[in-house]
């Protein structure tokens, strides 16, 4: 089982999640014991392609110069359209 690498950015606080998804990003959050919770966004298409084959793997998240190892705690999906709505990462 290898780490899946993906680049994340801080979420734009001026936009609501629907607007973020319209721009092609997936809103989410990263949290754990050692850090303060962070609101993030990541490329929807890139996440979709990586998630198909790596559902239970550890994800290496790159935020600027910080790197986090995390697992997907929860993934919200609109089952009518199969669109990903929100992802939550928990540090491991």
Q: How far apart are CA 91 and CA 56, in angstroms?
A: 14
For residue 3, the SS3 value is coil
Q: What is the pLDDT of residues 24-54, one digit of tens each?
A: 999 999 999 989 999 999 999 999 999 998 9
- How many separate domains does the chain show? 1
- Only one residue has tokens 């680049």, namely 7
Q: Return the pLDDT at 34.
A: 86
Two tokens at 44? 């929807």
Give the number of C-alpha atoms closer than 13 A to the C-alpha of residue 83, restricted to the C-beta side.
12
Does the model's pTM come out above 0.95? no
Give the integer Cα–Cα distance in Å for 90 and 71: 6
CATH number reported for the structural domain that contains residue 9 in this entry: 2.40.240.10
91: nearest Cα among 61, 68, 75: 68
Confidence category of residue 12, pLDDT binned at 50, 70, 90: confident
9: containing domain: 4-91
pLDDT in tens, 56-83: 899 999 999 999 999 999 999 999 999 9
């Amino acid at each position: 089982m290898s780490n899946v690498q993906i680049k994340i950015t801080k979420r734009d606080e001026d936009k609501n999640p629907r607007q973020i998804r319209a721009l092609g990003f997936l809103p989410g959050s990263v949290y754990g014991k050692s850090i303060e919770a962070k609101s993030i966004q990541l490329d929807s298409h890139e996440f979709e392609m990586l998630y198909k084959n790596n559902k239970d793997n550890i994800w290496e998240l790159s935020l600027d110069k910080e790197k986090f190892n995390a697992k997907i705690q929860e993934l919200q999906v609109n089952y009518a359209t199969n669109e990903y709505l929100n992802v939550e990462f928990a540090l491991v």
